[in-house]
Amino acid sequence: MQKLHIIKIGGTLIDDKKALKAFLAQFSEIEGAKILIHGGGKLAETLAEKLKIRQTMIDGRRITNKKTLKIVTMVYAGRINKNLVAKLQSYGCNAIGFSGADGNLIQAEKRQHPSIDFGFVGDINEKSINHELMINIINLGLVPVFSAITHDKMGNLFNTNADTIAGTIAQALSKYYETELLFCFDKNGVLEDIEDDNSNLKTINRQEFSELKSEGKLHKGILPKLHNAFVAKENGVEKVFLINEKKLSAQIKQGNEGTEICL
Binding residue ranges for substrate: 40-41, 62, 159
Closer to a second copy by Cβ: residue 111 or 206: 111
Closer to a second copy by Cβ: residue 130 or 188: 130
* CB 155, min distance to a second copy, A: 4
Residue 108 or 222 having the CB closest to a second copy: 108
Short-list 142, 147, 137, CA closest to 37: 147
Closest CA to 234 of 183, 146, 176, 168: 168
Which residues line the annotated binding site?
40-41, 62, 159
- Three-state DSSP class for residue 155: coil
Q: Closer to a second copy by CB, 44 or 212: give it.
A: 44
Per residue, the 3-state secondary structure of 41-101, as one string, reads CCHHHHHHHHCCCCCEEECCEEEECHHHHHHHHHHHHHHHHHHHHHHHHHCCCCEEEECCC
In whole angstroms, how close is the CB of 1 to a second copy at the nearest point? 22
Could you tell me the smallest distance in angstroms from the CB atom of residue 119 to a second copy? 16
DSSP result, 12-28: HHHH-HHHHHHHHHHHH
Chain contacts with a second copy (rule: CB under 8 A): 50-51, 70, 73-79, 81-83, 85-87, 89-90, 94-99, 101-104, 133, 136, 140, 142, 149, 151, 153-157
Least Å from the CB of residue 85 to a second copy = 5
- CA 82, distance to chain mean position in Å, is 16
Strand pairing class (61-63; 56-58) = antiparallel
